[in-house]
């Protein structure tokens, strides 16, 4: 199984878009493996310019990023291995519904048996939190 390797320019473009799209500003840190594109001098300089620290996961240590590995396993087992997507639009729609369920309806023991949305609402100022599922523009 080969993994897609991104160019340095693609990584920087994705970081820029993520920063702009999130509306939350520049992150304090980024966790990644030691893939060549993340240890490249150009990416490190770009991150340093915005005062973003890098946290590298030790090679061969997926447990170093347990939250992501757990989520990826659930996504794969509960959705991707069970569905056959006939179009990109269908995949987006089905994955969107799964994400809504995962974040707004399913309780998580690691979050003191709350949904991620409810947990997040307790972590920020009430005026900026949205504990209810957002409205969707797609036809259901």
- Exposure string of 73-101, with b = 16+ CB inside 10 Å and e = fewer, is eeeeeebeeeeeeeeeeeeebeeeebeee
User: pLDDT tens track of the chain, all 140 residues?
Assistant: 345 667 778 877 877 777 655 566 777 877 776 666 666 778 888 888 888 887 777 666 655 666 667 788 888 899 999 999 999 999 999 999 999 999 999 998 888 899 988 888 887 655 554 555 555 544 44
């Amino acid at each position: 199984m080969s993994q897609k390797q991104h160019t340095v320019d693609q990584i920087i473009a994705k970081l820029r878009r993520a920063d702009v799209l999130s509306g939350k500003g520049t992150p304090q840190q980024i966790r990644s493996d030691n893939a060549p594109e993340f240890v490249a001098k150009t990416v490190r300089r770009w991150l340093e310019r915005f005062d973003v620290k890098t946290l590298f996961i030790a090679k061969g240590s997926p447990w170093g990023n347990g939250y992501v590995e757990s989520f990826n396993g659930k996504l794969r087992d509960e959705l991707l291995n069970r569905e056959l997507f006939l179009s990109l639009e269908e995949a987006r729609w089905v994955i969107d519904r799964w994400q809504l369920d995962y974040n707004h309806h399913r309780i998580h023991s690691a979050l003191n048996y709350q949904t991620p949305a409810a947990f997040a609402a307790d972590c920020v100022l009430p005026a900026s939190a949205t504990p209810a599922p957002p409205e969707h523009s797609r036809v259901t």
